[in-house]
Amino acid sequence: MFILRFLLRRLAQGALIIFLVSALIFTLLRVVPGDPVRLMAGGMAPEALIEEIATDMGLRDPIPVQFTRYMSGVVQGDLGQSFVRPANGAAVGGASFDDSTRSARAEVWDLIADTAPKTIQLACLAMVFALMIAIPIGVWGGLHPGGWPDRIALYTSSVFVSLPNFWLGIILALLLSVKLKLLPAIGYGGFAWTILPALVLAIEIAPFIIRSLTVSVAQIMGQNFIEIAGVRGLSRSQIIFRHGAKNAAVPLLNLLGVQFSMLLGGVLVVEFIFDYPGLGLLTINAVMQRDFPLIQGIAIVTAAAFVLINIVVDLLSTLIDPRLEY
Amino acid sequence: MYDQTGLPPVLEVEGLCVGADLPEGMKPILQDVSFSLRPREILSVIGESGAGKTVLARTLASWLADPLKVTGGSAKFRGTDLIKDPAAARKLAGREIAYVGGNPAGALDPTMTVGAQLVEKLRAVRPEIPAAEAKQKAIELLDAVRIPSAAQRFHEYPFQYSGGMMQRAMIVDALISDPALLIADNITQPLDVTVAAQILKLMRDLTGRFDTAVLFICSSLPVACDASDEVLVLNKGRVVERQVPERLISAPQHTYTAQLIRELPKLWDGTEAAPAEERGEPRPIMSVRGVAKHYTAKNRAQGGTNVVQAVRNVEFDVFQGDNFGLVGESGCGKSSLMRLLTGLERPDAGTILFEGEDIGSARPARIRELRRKFQLVLQDPYGSLPPQKSIGAILEEPLKIHRIGDRRERRERARSVMSEVGLSETLYEELPNGLSAGQRQRLNVARAMTLEPRLLIMDETLSALDQTEQHKMLDLFERLQAQHGFTYIFISHDLAMVRRVCSRIAVMYLGETVEVAPNDRLFFDPGHPYSRALLSAAPTLEERRYRPEDCLLEGEPPSPIDLPPGCAFASRCPQAFDRCRSENPGLTARGGRALAACFLNPRRGEETAQTTPETTHA
Amino acid sequence: MLNRRSFLNYAAMAGAGVALHRVNPDFFLGTAHAAIDRPLVFLSAENITGNWDPTAHTTLSQSNIEGFVMGFLTRAPMRPENPDEVIYELATEINELSATRLEIKLREGVTFHDGKPFTSEDVKATFVYGSGLDRPKQVYPGATDTFEVETPDDYTVIVDTSKGGYGASLFIFLASYLPMLSAKDIAEGPQGILSQRLNGTGPFKFVEQRGNDTVMEAYPDYFKGTPTIPGVTFSFVGDATTRMLSLMNGQADVIERLEPEQLETLEGNDEIKISKLVSVENKYLWFRCSKPPFDNPLLRKAAAHAIDRELIMEVMGTAGHASANFVSPIKFGYVDLDNYPEYDPEECQRLLAEAGYPGGQGLPEIEYITSTGFYPKTKEYGEVIAALMQEQGFPVTLNVMEVAAWNERLYDRPGGGPGHMVDCGWSTGSPEPDLVLRTHFHSTSKRICGIEDPEIDAALDEERNAASLEERQASLQGNLMPMLADKVPALSLFTSVLIHAMRADLDGLFIYPDGLSDASQVTEAS
Amino acid sequence: MASIDTSVPSATRRAEARSISSRIWRLAFASTEFRIGLAVFSVLLFAALLYPELSGIDPTKMNIRAKMTPPVFMGEGWSWAHPLGTDQLGRDMLARSLVGLRYSILIGVTTTVLMLAVGALIGLVAGYYGKSIDTVLMRLTDAQLSIPMIILAITILGVSRPTIPSIILVLGLAGWPVYARVMRSTVMAERKKEYVRGAMVLGATDFRIMFLLLLPLVLPPIAFVAVLDVARMMIFESVLGFLGLGVQPPTPTFGNIIADGRKYLLNAWWIATMPGVFLCLTLTSINLMGASLERARNKTYGGA
């Protein structure tokens, strides 16, 4: 009952956010230079043909008109069609001006639906790795504020954050894939292909989790109920893992929710480096090709994902800590 | 009473010494403390703050943190030396030796239900008990400490418990493992008198039932005497006296004890004249008329919102140069009223006139200007000072806010108020975190004084201080009043304090002023049954004029969310009759400038509060 | 029989400086080598278009795929030691009946992947369709109405170019570059099935496009026998390092467009072998000739003399092949031009002074647009060129763009394209020089530089209308090319070298100069 | 709690009347970690500011024939002329790294300060006023947070030639919501405390409470965490370079050096690695100082 009302309110707010984001991105994409029709039709196409195609596609209508048309599609679950991609989903280069002979263009929704699961798999695994790296270091640091573990946490995060992900990607691929032949690195052929990119992503996010954990664990371990728990007869492991961990989980969850967009930025580069056929690679190609419907679609879907993730985060936070206002 | 059980002692402390290992050397905290404790015995430990009471309690509970260290002696629990064998001591902690602290608010994990944590604790120290049984035991005990609908409350979170309920839950937490020794460290201090009285009664019941020995740490002599079989007096880390309460009071052995008893404020002792009201032409500096304030709170269970009537029908006048007292238990609306009086919030109805100007409806900028003339001193000596600012900066802040003086003048002013309240000028560049609670409250007062206000509102300013400190502060207030002609409003739950300093006192219950009367009249002839209940519960060594058995009722005040239609006190009033349940009596004059809201008072005509002489000046 | 002499002449020119890998032609049927049991993975640096019609694009990667799937009348390996070698594929014989009539005999018993037999109808339809003026990859010497195709029987084709007035021998040169389409597919027109899939007679059958992977499987009825590998997966992987790592960890079998440094890394690796070959692609620095300051030929020349192409070659390393003409050395008509602008600071200063900007003073800010992530090392040598020009006083700022932004700014537009200099390469899957020269420098086309010069127009027309190959070559080398070197509407910097790397145990992969590969004979060396 | 019986009156350990902040600095400076951090940071800073000019080595000067010279002792052909080797165009890596450090510190610090300023302001206002102001501001924050950075980047950087100010703007825009959120929750917690009420009663305006009372209190811990973001922003700048949206050559930012040097990682590992090393040194030295300062603060303010 309560959760339902909370969900309704947050989803309504989320819809508003998505609407705002769509409007903003829609407008921005239409003022940015780089005529998509030029890219669709190819560099050699004459101006008149460009204008004709653009007018046909409604790209010369006023932006509000275009936006209204677009949003009415979005509401019905139609994110439009890619400007440049054929239905088979290949990333294509613009070389032909004879656009009329293009085979059917791909539905944006299908392109996203095809790639998103792989990215979700990658992101989840990355998160698992990141937590596996960050929790021991961060908690240990938080349990000894000012001591060596705290410093180790600090230095580890300094080093990790200084590693550019495309540098790290190459090094890890060389080491784990080329030299040791432990893991496949490039493309996607099954779960094993996710491990290496996830590791790179994990190292990228881990410093922030470490930092957040050291701070929140230290803060929680200084609280009265933790101090008194030993006097009440609870064992140290009970105190740390049941009470400390549970209380530290709330700030951690919030961090993860907020860092979502950062994760997406990382996914972009990592997927490109590893040629991992996920949403990130799709985004890079869409950006490179000025595939506006696709960029818009991705933006809307990620905004929606962000909204949903944060609703889940808030819901989980309130489940963990019922004091939080719904 | 001593040795009456004939059982061997549970705890034998011999020559215990504890010191603080500081860079400048070992500083002794406890020196050569020895005593023993038998099952079912309640031993109070009393002493001023800094005497080492809490250190003693924590040493026994294996909870000494750096830089404190045991430097000598032994503490044998059933033959096991807790000092020599810390591992065994830790094993006993929580199981045989239970500890209850004075700060129940933060004592449990806020993210787990109270019940779950009780079960967790029990199963941590006694893993052999199955979960279901543990749950049943927890509910039984919650019920035993009179937590209403315990089975339901079992599933609630700590923040859903009131302070008194939390304290009781913590007692359950301590007793659930059937400990042989209960260390109760200042458990009644943060509580209202009526609640504290209930808790003490409960503790006595329970020790009888479970054969538990209790070490009762306390800073109030009357409470200690009330609660225990024997009293141990600690002074500067040494045991100076151990007596049964009666003997202690009648024949204190040590000068410190004697002084403690002497300084104890008396409620009904006529030797010290109660502050008299200003006679002649009393001019009200503040008049409160029919003030009401409600808040809306989210209802988590059913959705929607609830209206909380925090303040209703509040009426009183405060006269120039007067000491006005506002008493009531927590939740009675004192704090809400304070926010209204200081212009932090605006009333829904009624007027608050300060020197003829309505604070309730003044423009925000005007209120800021008026603030130069009335100031507030807050309750919490720790939270009320801005962190990370030096004492000098704190004192200059009000002057900066009101753009008074230049740098040098402000500095001088700050230094002069510091010396006035008795803070050394060398503290100017220091942070307040090195100050004691008393010094902090002096600082708070000093800060309020820098603007040279006319009216000072003291919101529980003294309640966090021990008796000796309180004494000194009250002297300070008197001196300042004499020098600057301040008018004080004391918001307090401490009747003894109010009795000593206030000339007129208003009693609040559930947002209403149920009685407004001169000091003597309230204490000797209260006009409201609730006032009598308060007086009956007040901690004192004197013979009570009102017996708790007659006046004090079980339970807590009804929730201010769904107030009964009639007199709010009717549900707990021993004398309530039908009319009380249907009609709100309202403040009525009962002669001698006293008013009370009770039908039992003989009416003098049909005068209402608004037409009493004192209000005609408004 | 084929006029061996003319073919030889042409092939000798085209094959200059080309190094190739090629196994014994009999090898494809050999059983001495064990077949590999999984599809060959080929990583491409370039993405494909959405249109499978081979005449609808000039995209190298897609042509590469066509090399696997489609059949050709002939293939010309152009090995330096045997430059005139022609391998007949779908043709069995080519005879010059007269100067304007060419007879092609076709192989019998060949079927398309969709089961339709390959006949002279298909050749006719392909010739007619592929020479249509609306085809982006118009690969024939003249438009459809300049020749006629006769099909006396199912396996004979006669091309008659008398209407167009040029020699039918031009068709010989194009035979190796022309994928044969099915007449049935062509009948549906450009919007039809042609655009949706590949249908050829080649060793591999197009199965599907799966994301960025083009999946092909062995065609069991391939006329030379079933290929020894089960299939080919052709994938677009945008990042050069990624491609190399894939090869190194064994996930990929062949990768393309290696950079010289990658070459260095891989050369030490016993498991990997390299193929280098000069391509048909030249890299150019295009001047915007229709707007100041480069509407002044003196300044263009000055700029050309400011650039030390040897330095650029240093940067390019093995990925560049020095050339001094506007077309690749393997294109028809190539010659090292004597008057091609060389690095000469004094000449540059002289020209600047002559143009009225001594030492570069008074020149407006010059924007140099280049891309990153598409061609190798554009950013690196872009910085070199900018620095060199700055040294001579040109106020150049380099603007490195991602490919889409660059592509959008690339072409000429009314009033001149954006910026003042643009970096771009041009590659066409044919030795025909006009596909570069006419496209860019004729005033009716002027794709990028925007030049309108009647003298150049006249020179372009003259060489096209030449009666014979010899005459045409003379016109190109004696008139047009020196004229372009003098007017420098663009400066050709070098010719790209296509570098492929593949698993060392992979024998039999042949790579053609335009990047097309033939994997039909790929086997794994035991 | 009550066990603070042991606390020594500060008068006994008081330093002669010295302001609190100077005491914190002195305390921090007394720690070895702080001194090491300060030493490393100063060396880096001075080197970045002075070395390229003093040494007369032009970080953009190419010498293609000496390209990819390894750092000293690190392989064949090294020379003392290029202690950290040369890049793919034969430019001196030491000079490039130091000039790159200059730009990257500029970008990293300015961006972080920008997002901290915007985020802190919005979070402060939202957390202080609460209610509908809070709702509006926080939903706005969510909206901003949910726009992928890259899309902002291509739109803003695509309009014009990417310059350092426009890159700072893009990165700052993408980063502020995180700080707004942290700030808001901290302020909300502080807002309920007594001393805020105390300040109100003294007559302080909202502005004064927000900016003079709360801000100095809640900002330092957040700023300490923000040090990580300085590094992250430097790395992000390299991602932009990687996408062709970075600072234009020949300006050597870390982003440019890493993004361009990546291709040569197997031949000339030092090109893409050096910026990372400098970044790590800078960051660790700042962190060393920050952590000591934080400890000194905690010690001075009694752990609060």
Specify the amino acid at residue B156: E
Residue among B111, B124, B159 whose CB faces A233 most closely:
B124
Residue B97 included in any domain: no
Q: How many CA atoms lie within 13 A of C100 on its CB side?
A: 12
Mean pLDDT, rounded, of chain A: 81
In tens, the pLDDT along C496-508 reads 887 888 887 776 6
Q: Give the mean model confidence (pLDDT) for residues B175-193.
A: 82
Size of the A and D interface in Cβ pairs below 8 Å: 142
List the domain range (segments joined by +) for residue B441: 381-452
| Block residue for tokens 């260290």 | B69
β pairing state of C320-321 and C490-503: antiparallel
Searching chain A, which residue's CA lies closest to the CA of residue B96? A233
In this model, does residue B605 exceed pLDDT 50? no
Residue C27: which pLDDT band, with cuts at 50, 70 and 90? very low
Q: Note the pLDDT of residue C420.
A: 93
In this model, does residue C493 exceed pLDDT 90? yes
Name which residue leads in pLDDT, B82 or B49: B82
Residue B434 included in any domain: yes
CA dist C347 → A203, B346, C306, C344, C350 (Å): 56, 87, 8, 5, 5
Searching chain B, which residue's CA lies closest to the CA of residue D195? B384
Cβ atoms C191, A100 nearer than 8 A = yes
Is residue C481 exposed (0-12), middle (13-18) or buried (19+ Cβ within 10 Å)? Answer: buried
In this model, does residue B266 exceed pLDDT 90? no
Q: Give the mean model confidence (pLDDT) for residues C236-263.
A: 83
Q: Note the pLDDT of residue B612.
A: 41
* DSSP 8-state secondary structure symbol assigned to residue B157: -
Mean pLDDT, rounded, of chain C: 79
Tell me the percentage of chain B whose pLDDT exceeds 90. 6
Q: Note the pLDDT of residue A185.
A: 77
Mapped to the 3 state alphabet, what secondary structure does B119-149 carry? Answer: HHHHHHHCCCCCHHHHHHHHHHHHHHCCCCC
Q: Give the mean model confidence (pLDDT) for residues D167-193.
A: 85
- What's the pTM value of the predicted model, to 2 decimals? 0.80
Tokens of C488: 């420098």
Q: Note the pLDDT of residue C20.
A: 26
Q: Give the mean model confidence (pLDDT) for residues D103-118.
A: 89
Q: Give the mean model confidence (pLDDT) for residues A199-223.
A: 87
Q: Note the pLDDT of residue C368.
A: 92
Is residue B250 exposed (0-12), middle (13-18) or buried (19+ Cβ within 10 Å)? Answer: exposed
Cβ atoms B293, B352 nearer than 8 A = no
In this model, does residue B117 exceed pLDDT 70? yes
Of B286, B274, B75, which is closest to residue B181 (Cα–Cα)? B75
- In this predicted structure, which of B227-241, C127-141, D262-276 has the lowest mean pLDDT? C127-141
Q: List, edge to edge, every strand of the sheet that includes B357-358.
A: B305-319, B284-298, B349-354, B357-358
Is residue A179 exposed (0-12), middle (13-18) or buried (19+ Cβ within 10 Å)? Answer: exposed
In this model, does residue A137 exceed pLDDT 90? yes
Residue A302: which pLDDT band, with cuts at 50, 70 and 90? confident
In tens, the pLDDT along C108-129 reads 889 999 889 999 999 999 888 8
Ordered DSSP codes for C345-403: HHHHHHHHHHHT-GGGTTPPPEEEEEEESSSTTHHHHHHHHHHHHHHTT--EEEEEEEH
Cβ atoms B157, B142 nearer than 8 A = no
In tens, the pLDDT along A47-71 reads 777 777 778 777 778 888 888 888 8
Of B35, B166, B175, which is closest to residue B109 (Cα–Cα)? B166
* DSSP 8-state secondary structure symbol assigned to residue B295: E
β pairing state of B374-377 and B455-459: parallel
Q: Give the mean model confidence (pLDDT) for residues C365-384.
A: 86
The answer to whether residue D219 neighbours chain B at the CB level (below 8 Å) is no
- Angle, helices D269-300 vs A165-172, to 10°: value is 120
Is residue B482 exposed (0-12), middle (13-18) or buried (19+ Cβ within 10 Å)? Answer: exposed
To probe the interface with A, which of C38, C58, C195 has the most A CB atoms within 10 Å?
A: C195
Question: Going from the N-terminus, what domains does chain A have, and what CATH number goes with each?
Answer: 2-97 (no CATH), 111-320 (1.10.3720.10)
Cβ atoms C412, C369 nearer than 8 A = no
- Across the interface, whether the CB atoms of D174 and A261 are under 8 A apart is answered yes
Residue C157: which pLDDT band, with cuts at 50, 70 and 90? very high
In this model, does residue A230 exceed pLDDT 50? yes
Q: Note the pLDDT of residue B611.
A: 39
Q: Note the pLDDT of residue D235.
A: 78
Provide the 10 A C-beta neighbour count for residue B87. Answer: 8
Of B130, B163, B129, which is closest to residue B147 (Cα–Cα)? B163
Searching chain D, which residue's CA lies closest to the CA of residue A289? D154
In this model, does residue B242 exceed pLDDT 50? yes
Cβ atoms A314, A244 nearer than 8 A = no
Q: Which residues contact C386 (CB under 8 A, 6 or more apart)?
A: C368, C396, C397, C398, D249, D250
Q: Which residues contact A100 (CB under 8 A, 6 or more apart)?
A: C190, C191
Of B156, B366, B264, B284, which is closest to residue B593 (Cα–Cα)? B284
- Angle ∠(A281,A284,A288) on CA atoms, nearest 5: 140
- Beta-bridged to residue B19, according to DSSP, are B28, B69
Q: How many CA atoms lie within 13 A of A43 on its CB side?
A: 24
The answer to whether residue B335 neighbours chain D at the CB level (below 8 Å) is no
Buried residues in A214-251 as b, exposed as e (16+ CB within 10 A): bbbbbebbebebbbbbbbbbbeeebbbebbbbbbbbbb
Q: Which residues contact B191 (CB under 8 A, 6 or more apart)?
A: B163, B164, B167, B199
Mean pLDDT, rounded, of chain B: 82
Q: Note the pLDDT of residue C17.
A: 26
End-to-end CA separation in angstroms for chain A: 12
Residue B395 included in any domain: yes
Residue C78: which pLDDT band, with cuts at 50, 70 and 90? low
Buried residues in C358-368 as b, exposed as e (16+ CB within 10 A): eebeebeebbb
- Across the interface, whether the CB atoms of A233 and B157 are under 8 A apart is answered no
Specify the amino acid at residue B177: S
- Return d(Cα B8, Cα B562) in angstroms, integer: 53
Q: Give the mean model confidence (pLDDT) for residues B582-602.
A: 82
Chain B residues touching D199 at Cβ < 8 A: 386, 397
Q: How far is A125 from chain D (nearest CA, A)?
A: 21
Ordered DSSP codes for C94-148: EEEEETTEEEEEE-SS-B-TTSPBP-HHHHHHHHHHHT-TT-TT--SSS-GGG-E
Residue B400 included in any domain: yes
* DSSP 8-state secondary structure symbol assigned to residue C193: G
Cis amide bond preceding B526, omega within 30:
no
Tokens of C113: 């992947």
Ordered DSSP codes for B238-271: EEEEEE-HHHHHHS--SHHHHHHHHHS--SS-TT
In this model, does residue B1 exceed pLDDT 50? no
Q: Give the mean model confidence (pLDDT) for residues A146-160.
A: 86
In tens, the pLDDT along B53-73 reads 888 988 888 888 777 888 888
To probe the interface with A, which of C193, C251, C424, C427 has the most A CB atoms within 10 Å?
A: C251
Residue B215 included in any domain: no
Of D99, D208, D91, D111, which is closest to residue D166 (Cα–Cα)? D111
Residue B416 included in any domain: yes
To probe the interface with C, which of A37, A38, A88, A295 has the most C CB atoms within 10 Å?
A: A88
In tens, the pLDDT along B127-144 reads 888 999 999 989 988 887
The answer to whether residue B493 neighbours chain A at the CB level (below 8 Å) is no
Q: Note the pLDDT of residue A98.
A: 41
Q: Note the pLDDT of residue A319.
A: 83
Q: How many CA atoms lie within 13 A of B402 on its CB side?
A: 25
The answer to whether residue D267 neighbours chain C at the CB level (below 8 Å) is yes
H/E element, C172: helix C170-175
Cβ atoms D268, D68 nearer than 8 A = yes
Residue among A89, A177, A184 whose CB faces C209 most closely:
A89
Q: Give the mean model confidence (pLDDT) for residues B335-342.
A: 87
Domain count within chain B: 1
Of A141, A228, B440, B434, which is closest to residue D303 (Cα–Cα)? B434
Contact between chain B and chain A (3 or more Cβ pairs less than 8 Å apart):
yes
In this model, does residue C14 exceed pLDDT 60? no
Chain A residues touching D155 at Cβ < 8 A: 25, 28-29, 31-32
In tens, the pLDDT along C216-230 reads 988 888 888 887 778
The answer to whether residue A222 neighbours chain D at the CB level (below 8 Å) is yes
Name which residue leads in pLDDT, C413 or B244: B244
To probe the interface with B, which of D3, D13, D219 has the most B CB atoms within 10 Å?
A: D3
Residue B467: strand, helix, or coil: helix
- Across the interface, whether the CB atoms of D8 and B398 are under 8 A apart is answered no
Q: Note the pLDDT of residue C525.
A: 37
Tell me the percentage of chain C whose pLDDT exceeds 70. 82
The answer to whether residue D10 neighbours chain B at the CB level (below 8 Å) is yes
Q: Note the pLDDT of residue C492.
A: 92
Residue B617: which pLDDT band, with cuts at 50, 70 and 90? very low
* DSSP 8-state secondary structure symbol assigned to residue D96: H
- Across the interface, whether the CB atoms of D60 and C387 are under 8 A apart is answered yes
Tokens of D285: 């030295």
Residue among D155, D258, D283 whose CB faces A158 most closely:
D283
In this model, does residue A109 exceed pLDDT 80? yes
- Return d(Cα A241, Cα A142) in angstroms, integer: 13
Buried residues in B335-346 as b, exposed as e (16+ CB within 10 A): bbbbbbbbbebe
Tokens of A291: 């595939």
